[in-house]
Chains A and B, each alone.
Chain A
């Protein structure tokens, strides 16, 4: 294969990564933006999403699309319910104090991971893609499902954006984000908004996982790398800025796809991590964010 098509393949793979990453990071960013909570367990919600997708797809025999559709509905709902429960049982009792919640979500991370290992096991298991089609490009064939992931992600991002900017619920969330005390004074149930946002963020991670699980198998440790990457995305995009998050996901996904195709993935990860730390040191508001309040 010549260099051009090779680059095209790398960019397509990068776009798929970016699509999933954007969804996951959007959840993380939403939780951070509205609640000021750094959810370290976000990667585990993603992993749970994939594991539950495998479980619900295995319930149905017949056409693979049926199992996939069931997973698409069930998995985010269950994960959101678990997130809601952990918000009620743990985070709310800590009054969403930033440092305490980080410690608590680290605890959550360990518990979820271990339970997944105990009940799901150490094996990686696949979910069948809803349709099996290859688009014949002049140089190589490419899975149509991967392109569908990109389309679905774009759709979901636009839906989130509309939800946040054009609906009452979005208005309530933005009000809570900019000043929880005043929002409370105007009769907004800040407590309930937090719970919904936390569940929503976890649900988005689960949704991203359901989309990816037909091309990347479900495994109990699969949450770690995406967690780090979505931190990277959220920080570079500016903590709490949705537009920045999407742009950064595109940038990171594409460069990850291209760099790891041409260089050592460990080196790529190492440089990316260091770069992000330095961005945070010298430009704490992120590359696209506005100055911190």
Chain B
């Protein structure tokens, strides 16, 4: 088998495993896993910008929340059904990424981190300022009627755990294979090369700005679809999801799982979710766990779980 087909098989097996887990796991863990799958799509989107293209953004909560509110607000106030609401969330995140990207990509390094942080903070404050529509910290709870999905003439309710799990899995699988294709395309390789040496790529005749901007837009579009899916599947949109914490979390998940690996974000999100879940049953101090994890990771495992696996055993892992 060529490395390419081997990688494809590994990804297929993971998706099949996740599918099977729906029938094996008890209710509580299925609930957690559906949430983890949606959030790992968020992490995968972040990974494209941070891991592959080397853009350390501290503002991706803005794109996730744009998807969340794009879907949540239209479903809540305008009574849009699931598909148009999802589309609105997707579009909101993508358009925001075009504007934010054109401005923020004029800077790089530390300045880029601070600019993205500030943009996201502005967005967060905006969700608080327009509290008549967003209901601020308290958030919107979507009514049952907004969460009925019709597919091939059959109508599903998104409140049903199995429907929710399967839809999260479909989103995860679509994004996973799309990103797998993308990072192995010439575009994906150009991004990695830009991360490693921007000047040289410019000298070779690549349009660095256009490549980085496209990467940021695709990354934001993935994050926005995660946000839109989150709002519709779990029926809630609150400004907490726009706060700085949700810009830091995908960074943590990606670092933990392995930056610039396709599977890393899923491992990272899953691991962190259960680490917090288990520690919070012993102590309230789960933030210490997050903090320590960040410091220990950056000190000792800058490559993360999947990165370490790739380095030691499976060099063909994408």
A residues sitting closer than 8 Å to B (CB atoms) are 36, 38, 90, 93-94, 98-100, 102-104, 106-111, 113-115, 117-118, 228, 231, 235, 264, 266-267, 269-270, 273-274, 276-278, 280-282, 284
Contacts and interface: CB of A to CB of B under 8 A. Distances in A.
B305 to A, nearest CB: 16
B118 A270 contact: no
Contacts of A264: 129
B129 A104 contact: no
Contact of B103 (A104, A113, A278): A278
B115 interface: yes
Given A111-B288, A114-B288, A280-B107, A104 B295 contact: yes
B115 A267 contact: no
Interface in B106-133: 106-107, 109-111, 113-115, 118-119, 121-122, 125-126, 128-129
B24 interface: no
Contacts of A266: 125, 128-129
18 contacts: A98-B109, A102-B110, A103-B251, A104-B295, A107-B294, A108-B291, A109-B291, A110-B288, A111-B292, A114-B285, A228-B121, A231-B114, A266-B129, A270-B122, A270-B129, A273-B125, A277-B104, A281-B104
Contacts of A94: 298-299
A280 B111 contact: yes
Contacts of B251: 103
B122 A108 contact: no
A114 B291 contact: yes
Nearest to B105: A281
B295 A90 contact: yes
B122 A277 contact: yes
B197 to A, nearest CB: 16
A228 B292 CA distance: 23
Given A90-B295, A111-B292, 15 more contacts: A99-B56, A102-B56, A107-B295, A107-B298, A110-B287, A110-B294, A111-B288, A111-B291, A113-B287, A114-B288, A115-B285, A274-B122, A280-B115, A281-B107, A282-B106
B248 A111 contact: no
Nearest to A118: B285
Give chain A's interface secondary structure class. helix
B298 A270 contact: no
Nearest to B125: A270
Contacts of A102: 56, 58, 110, 113
B255 interface: yes
A267 B128 CA distance: 9
Closest 6 CB pairs of A and B: A110-B291, A107-B294, A277-B118, A111-B291, A114-B287, A107-B295
Contacts of A111: 287-288, 291-292, 295
Q: How large is the interface on B (under 10, 10 to 19, 20 to 34, 35 or more residues)?
A: 35 or more
Nearest to B302: A100
Interface string B282-317: 001111101111110111001000000000000000
Give chain B's interface secondary structure class. helix
B44 to A, nearest CB: 19
Contacts of A273: 118, 121-122, 125
B59 to A, nearest CB: 9
A103 B251 CA distance: 9
B299 A90 contact: yes
Contact of B255 (A36, A103, A109, A115): A103
A90 B299 CA distance: 7
Interface string B200-220: 000000000000000000000
B118 A274 contact: yes
A98 B110 contact: yes
Contact of A104 (B122, B286, B298): B298
A280 B297 CA distance: 30
Contacts of B295: 90, 104, 107-108, 111
A100 to B, nearest CB: 5
Contacts of B122: 270, 273-274, 277
B111 A284 contact: yes
Nearest to B54: A99
Nearest to B56: A99
B288 A277 contact: no
A277 B119 contact: yes
Q: Which of A108, A235, A281 has the most CB of B within 10 A?
A: A281
Q: Which of A104, A106, A108, A117 has the most CB of B within 10 A?
A: A106
A223 to B, nearest CB: 13
Contacts of A98: 109-110
A107 B125 CA distance: 23
Interface in B127-145: 128-129
Contacts of A109: 291
Contacts of B110: 36, 38, 98-99, 102
Contacts of A93: 299
Nearest to B287: A114
Contacts of A106: 248, 291, 294
Q: Which of B113, B122, B128, B297 has the most CB of A within 10 A?
A: B122
Contact of B288 (A115, A270, A280, A284): A115
Contacts of A99: 56, 109-110, 113
